[in-house]
Amino acid sequence: MNKPAGYSPSRQGAILMTLLAFGMLFLSTKGKAQQSKWQQVDQYLSSGQYRDALDILRYLDGDAYSLALKQGICYYGLNQLKTAQDYFTQAYQVSKAPDADLYFWLGQTYHQQLRFEPAVQQYKAFLRVAKASDQRRDQVKELIRICGNGIRIQYQDQLGYLEVFPAQINTAYDEIAPRFSPNYSDRIYFSAQRFPETGKGYDMMGIEIQNGSWSNPFEFNPSLNTIADEVLYGFANQGQEAIYLEQLPGDRTILVDTFNQSQQVHRGVWKSSMQPNRGDDYLYIYHDSLILYSSNRAGGYGGYDLYASRKDHGNWSAPLNLGPTINSPSDEITPFLTNDGQILYFSSNRPDLTIGGFDVLFSRLEDTWSAPENLGLPVNSAANDLQFSIGPEGKTGVFASDRKESVGGMDLYFFYFKEIVSAQMAMIQDQITWFRQLMPSDSTYGGHGDRPAITVEIPYLAYGEDDVLLTPVNLKHLQLLVTLLKQHPAWTIDIIGHSDNQQTKEYNPFFSIKRSEKIREYLTQSGIAENRIFLEGCGSSFPVALNEINLLPNPSGQRLNRRIEFRIHSSPEEIVHFIYQQPAVVPHFQDTAYRAFEAFTAGLQYKILVQQATRPYYDHRLDAYPGFTIEQLAGQSTYDYTIFAANTYFLANQLKRELRNQGFEDASVVAYVDGRRLLQNEIRNYTDKYPDLIYYQYRSE
């Protein structure tokens, strides 16, 4: 055979060796590149960057089992459970001997789909093949127990139906801390991440129903949302105050803002027994008089425990642990208490009750708190279900969850109860008497020792510049008062009208008592006898907030001052602790004049009755004396114009003489106990407690 020109056996062998060398180099380089990409996939998986991992896995060659398993893990992390299960099944089919990883992830996938029986089978298979050193063994044993809870709970009757909020509300980022609006029945507030890549944290948002559908989210108050995290905790003072957490690296502060539509910021630090910088979190404000929150402070029963703190005379008590029935060696967080104070909802990850992650539990107050129960499906899932609360009408609920069918992160869910939660509609009465059960046996509260006491919270009514009193919120409060007065027919009520300073001194108190008359009319039409009702009109004598700042009108302060308060009076032999709601005002807006009103409604005090009239009355000489008010007793056709005097009859009588010398010839002394005007035949009931009344009883005018 003829050889090509230039052919040489030695040269041909050299070429072949060169080609082989280049081939081996290519294969080696490709192998190293493949190995580097697998390492990058593992890094993405460990950091939760599932889409980035998938982008690499789609173009990788290699072991079919590893490719299918890792793609399944990616789709699991992206909340696409059906696709994840398909890849895990594919991995099972190509594997001659499935390893512990595959059984673990198959168990997780079934578990998240609430398919508890097959999940248990996969978890048990994991335990059969996993090495003794596998750190997941204890976790899987606990998951088997948790799935056992799910097998039992899945057959229980469900309490209602779930609604997933639409895509404009739930996003790939977190939506947390939902709260029903205290003033608008179709509005919900929450906190959300919207653009975390810009460095901006959680902002407070709102949504409402418009034409039967949920609106796009709007900012709660753009001036409050900053570069920090703002997480809404709730509201105080009938929706007049927003309480929220502001969180920066290394610093957590609870703030209060006077919640209004003007979008102005009037915020200050909200102080209580809670210590956010020491880990206290998940605050729940219960009718301004009680707070519940979660804390991992020393002395608890496990991780995070629930604590309660009560407000009395403006001060918060030391926090008290809710005890071992509620708290466990696990974590208890995000409390919610129904209006009657008898049902406590919270989230816990205790393995004896949950079906996965944190579940919503509830406990009923009987003689003591009952053993917590799982709220069941569909509220609870195999993921974390948190921050459950019930709407003001007891028909709906809202909560946050990171369940696998969510859009991403924590999403919001709306819940419709099949039956109204009557505890949420009940009268706000005796709502915190269980607080005394938490106290040490040698402690007393309010100085009553072991004597039975009733604790009742009394709301106030807010009104606007339009003078509309019977708003939906106010009607709800009035209905509660009617129920309370009917339950206690011996009790009497004072209706006390306050206002801002936009009217003249002559007409302001008069218009105030006219508003009180409208509320009296509502009570009498609801079946409350008129002889149990006392009216008072204070005008702008006792503002809680500054009506003016630097001689300029302060609309926020004026809004807080437009209110009607109540004082309830029980019989002397009863032990009743009344807690009166009032607007909370940030310190730099507070008006000290209201302190005089609070002082007058405590203990024995005297007033001077200056004039009786049927129409507006005013004398500029009375500007020199504090507490100008109008009063009207039941059945009285005239109005009594009064001023504050003193807490002793001697000093009050001196003031009476002074006024008579100025021409107020009909001036006389009138006695009050805890703000209640005493009739002549009632004085003897109080002389033992207030001996000074003896001088008043035998006075000679």
How much is the pLDDT for 15? 43
Q: What is the pLDDT of residues 525-543, one digit of tens each?
A: 999 999 999 999 999 999 9
How much is the pLDDT for 279? 87
How much is the pLDDT for 623? 87
Strand (E) or helix (H) holding 583: none
Q: Evaluate if residue 7 carries a pLDDT over 50.
A: no
CB 173 within 8 A of CB 409: yes
**What is the average pLDDT value for the chain, to the nearest integer?**
86
| 506-528 mean pLDDT | 93
- φ and ψ of 648, to 5 deg: -130, 150
Q: Which residue has the higher pLDDT, 254 or 594?
A: 254
d(CA 542, CA 385): 46
Q: What is the pLDDT of residues 401-422, one digit of tens each?
A: 999 988 888 999 999 999 999 8
Q: Which residue has the higher pLDDT, 31 or 601?
A: 601
DSSP class of 379 = T
| 225-242 mean pLDDT | 88
Please give the share of the chain, as a percent, with pLDDT higher than 70: 88
| 348-362 mean pLDDT | 97
Please give the share of the chain, as a percent, with pLDDT higher than 90: 57
pTM beyond 0.75: the answer is no
How much is the pLDDT for 377? 96
How many CA atoms lie within 13 Å of 166's alpha carbon, on the beta-carbon side? Answer: 9
Q: DSSP states of 68-121 as a string?
A: HHHHHHHHHHTT-HHHHHHHHHHHHHH-SS--HHHHHHHHHHHHHTT-HHHHHH
| 120-128 mean pLDDT | 97
Q: Evaluate if residue 151 carries a pLDDT over 60.
A: yes
pLDDT band at 697 (very low <50, low <70, confident <90, very high): confident
Nearest to 307 by CA among 289, 325, 327, 287: 327
Quote the crossing angle between the two packed helices 64-77 and 81-94, to the nearest 10°: 160
Nearest to 185 by CA among 165, 208, 156: 208
pLDDT band at 380 (very low <50, low <70, confident <90, very high): very high
Q: Evaluate if residue 188 carries a pLDDT over 90.
A: yes
| 254-268 mean pLDDT | 70
Q: Evaluate if residue 434 carries a pLDDT over 80.
A: no
How much is the pLDDT for 599? 79
Nearest to 389 by CA among 381, 401, 398: 398
Map out the domains of the chain with their CATH numbers. 26-153 (1.25.40.10), 159-271 (no CATH), 456-601 (3.30.1330.60), 602-701 (no CATH)
How much is the pLDDT for 31? 54
pLDDT band at 3 (very low <50, low <70, confident <90, very high): very low
| 431-454 mean pLDDT | 49
How much is the pLDDT for 261? 52
| 490-517 mean pLDDT | 91
How much is the pLDDT for 12? 47
d(CA 676, CA 570): 10
How many CA atoms lie within 13 Å of 481's alpha carbon, on the beta-carbon side? Answer: 30
d(CA 139, CA 119): 14
pLDDT band at 587 (very low <50, low <70, confident <90, very high): low
| 491-515 mean pLDDT | 91
pLDDT band at 446 (very low <50, low <70, confident <90, very high): very low
How much is the pLDDT for 379? 98
| 263-278 mean pLDDT | 81
Q: What is the pLDDT of residues 45-73, one digit of tens each?
A: 988 899 999 999 988 887 899 999 999 99
How much is the pLDDT for 2? 45
Residue for token digits 């206002």?
A: 499
CB 110 within 8 A of CB 119: yes
How much is the pLDDT for 289? 84
The most confident of the ranges 50-59, 120-129, 681-690 is: 120-129
d(CA 114, CA 355): 9
How much is the pLDDT for 360? 99
Q: Evaluate if residue 24 carries a pLDDT over 50.
A: no
Q: Evaluate if residue 329 carries a pLDDT over 60.
A: yes
Q: Which residue has the higher pLDDT, 626 or 333?
A: 333
How much is the pLDDT for 448? 40
Q: Which residue has the higher pLDDT, 50 or 35?
A: 50
